[in-house]
Chain A
Amino acid sequence: MNYFIQRLLSAIPVLLGITIIVFFIISLIPGDPATAILGSYATPENVKLLNEQLGLDKGLIQRYFIWLGNLVQGDLGRSFALNRPVLDEILERFNATLILSGTAFILCSVVGVLIGTISAFKQYTITDKIITFTVLTGISLPSFFLGMMMILLFAVNLQWLPVSGMYAIYGGGDFLDLIHHLIMPAIALALVATGVVARITRNSVLEILRQDYIRTARAKGVREGNVLFKHVLRIAIVTILPILGLQAGFVLSGSVFIEIVFQWPGVGRMLVDAILKRDILLVQGGVMFVAACYVLFNIAVDLLQRYLDPRIK
C-alpha cells in the first residue's frame, strides 16, 4: 500500500515532463491560430482581439502555467474547430478508442502468451512451425494494409461484417451490433502485437526451461503439465509483463491507423484531423490525455509486476 502511493507520486514528475513536452512542442507549431480560425481575410484588429481572448499575447512560460493550472482543474480549453470544450470531445472519443484498443490489447496478451507457450513446448513440431510462420507474417504486415484487405474480403466480397463505423447507422446501437463492428478492427489492430508477444513468450519459455529450478521440479517428480503451469508460466508471465506494457503503447499507436481505416470514432482520428486543421488546444489536450492514461496504465503494470515478483525491491 505504501509502495502504491509512492509509485503514484513518482508518476508526478513524469506527468509534469509530459506537460512540458506537449505544451512546448505544440507551441512550436507554425502558423497563427487566430488566422486559422478567422480565415486569411481577417483584419489585424480582429486577430489581435482574438489573440487576447485566447491568451496568446502573453509570454510562453506564463501561458504554460496558465494552461497547467487549467489542466489541473480539468479545463483543457475549447476546440475552435468543433466549438466545444476539448475535454468533452476527448471523453466521448476516448470511450471508442478504449473499447477498440482494450479489446485488441486483451486479445494480443492472451493469444500471444498462449501461442508463444504452445510453440515453445512443441518446439520443432509442425505446430511450432505453423505458429512461427504465422507470427512472422503477422509482424510484417502494416496494420492499415491488413485492415484494408480485411474490409475487401470480409465486408465487400463475403459481406459478413460491416465495412466501417462503430454502430450501424440504422437500427443498431446494442451490444451485439458493437461486437459485430469491433471484430475486424480489433483483430487488425491486435495482430502485430500478438506476434511480438508470442515470439518473446516462446523465447522466454525456452530459456526458463533450461533453468536449474526447472530441473529441481523435474527431480521432484513433478508432472510435465504442472512444470509448465506452476513453474514455467509463473516466471514467464513476470518476464513478459513489461513487454505487455510496451505493447499497450503500440496498440494505442496502431489504433490511430485502424480508426482511420475503419472510420472508428476514436481519439486517434480526432488527433490527425486536429493536426491537419491546426486545432492546437485539441491536439494538446488529446495528446496529454492519452499520454496520461498510458502512464497510469504502466503504473498498474508495474504494481502487478511487483505483486507477482517478490524479488523486486
Chain B
Amino acid sequence: MDILSAYNLSKFYSKNKGLFNKQSINLRAVNNININLKSKESLGIVGESGCGKSTLAKMLAGLVTPSSGEVKIEEKDINNYKKHELPNHIQYMFQDPISSLNPRKTIYQSLAAPLKYLRKLDEKEIEKEIKTIIKEVNLKEEFLNRFPHEFSGGQAQRIGIARVLLSKAKIIILDEPVSALDVSIQSQILNLLNDLQKKFELSYIVISHDLAVIEAICDRVMVMYFGDIVEKSDAKELFQKPYHPYTNLLLKSVPKINQKMEIKNLFETELPDPINPPKGCSFYTRCENKTEKCKDSNPTETINDNRKYKCFFPNI
C-alpha cells in the first residue's frame, strides 16, 4: 500500500497579460506528474533549479494548491482532511534552517506550537516531549531558551528536524536538507535523518539538486527536468546506469576528486521557455542522442525491467 500517491499533478501559474487583456499567460511549473511513496521508503527527487521540484513538494504537503490532479495520503484525498489534520500526516522541512524559525520566538516556543495546536497536549506533556526530542536530535537542553540567530546552520537544521518529528507525522518532505550547510556538517545531518527514519518508521521525500546527497539517503529516485519526471528507478540502478540522456549528463557533470570530467563543450544549458513549452522533448536542444523525431513528438513513459523513462533513444 502506498502511504502517499499523486495522480496527474500539474501546476500552472497564470498571469493576466494586462488590465484590459483577459487573455492570460500560463507559466508551466509542474506538468502531469504521478508519484507513489511506500511506507518507510525514501524517495529522492533530483533536478536543477527551475525544474519544479519545490513546487511539486509543496503541492504534496498541501502548501500549494495544484492546478489539476489529486494527492492522496493513506488512500484519502488531502482535500478531505480537515485543515489541522493534514499536518499530523505529512510535514515539510525547509531548505533554509534559520529562516524556518521565527526570529522573535525561543526554540522552546517554536517547538511547542505543533504539540499545542496539532496534538493538543497540556503544558506538562509539552515540556516532557520537547525534552525528549531535543536529545533525539543531539542538542542540549539549555538551547531551548535561546533565539534562532544564536544557532549555526547545522544546529538550526536539527531544531527543524525536531519540530517536524513532534508532529508525529509519518511522511516528511525534506527540501534540500543540507544545501545550506557547511560540507563538514552535511554528513552529520544526513546520518541523523537515516537513523531517525529507522527509529520512527518514517517515509521521506527528499528534494535536492545534489546527486550525492540523494544517493546517500534514498531508496528510489525520480529525475525531474522542466516540470516533468524524465526517469524513475531504484537508486542503485539509476546511479550505476542512467538510461535517460539528461540523467547521464547530470551524473557526468558532477566534479569528482582526482578524476577529470568527460564533458563536451556544449553551449546550450538553457531550459525551454515555460510560457511556450516545446512540442517535442523538452531536453531536445541539449541532448546527445536527439533525432528529428524528438523535436516533433514528446516521448511518453516507457517501462523496461523496473526502469521507467521518457525517451525515444535511451542509453541502454
Q: Do chains A and B touch in the complex (CB under 8 A)?
A: yes
Interface residues on B, range: under 10
Name which residue of chain B comes closest to A12, CB basis.
B19
Q: How many A-B residue pairs have CB under 8 A?
A: 6
Number of residues from A at the complex interface, CB < 8 A: 3
- Provide the main secondary structure of the chain B interface: loop
The CA of A6 and the CA of B20, in the complex, are separated in Å by: 8
Cβ of A10 within 8 Å of any chain B Cβ, yes or no, is: yes
The CA of A9 and the CA of B55, in the complex, are separated in Å by: 35
CB distance from B162 to the nearest CB of A (A): 35
B18: chain A residues at CB < 8 Å are 6
A10: chain B residues at CB < 8 Å are 19
CB distance from A245 to the nearest CB of B (A): 20
Name which residue of chain B comes closest to A10, CB basis.
B19
CB distance from A5 to the nearest CB of B (A): 10
Q: List A residues 3-20 near B (Cβ within 8 Å).
A: 6, 9-10
A9: chain B residues at CB < 8 Å are 19-20
B19: chain A residues at CB < 8 Å are 6, 9-10
Name which residue of chain B comes closest to A6, CB basis.
B18
Taken residue by residue from 1 to 43, chain B's Cβ proximity to chain A (1 for < 8 Å, 0 otherwise) reads as 0000000000000000011100000000000000000000000
B20: chain A residues at CB < 8 Å are 6, 9
The CA of A6 and the CA of B18, in the complex, are separated in Å by: 8
A6: chain B residues at CB < 8 Å are 18-20
Q: List A residues 114-169 near B (Cβ within 8 Å).
A: none
Taken residue by residue from 1 to 40, chain A's Cβ proximity to chain B (1 for < 8 Å, 0 otherwise) reads as 0000010011000000000000000000000000000000
Name which residue of chain B comes closest to A7, CB basis.
B19
- List A residues at the B interface (Cβ < 8 Å): 6, 9-10
- List B residues at the A interface (Cβ < 8 Å): 18-20
Q: Enumerate 6 A-B pairs (CB-CB under 8 Å) in ascending A order.
A: A6-B18, A6-B19, A6-B20, A9-B19, A9-B20, A10-B19
For the complex of A and B, the 6 pairs showing the least CB-CB separation, nearest first, are A10-B19, A6-B18, A6-B19, A9-B20, A9-B19, A6-B20
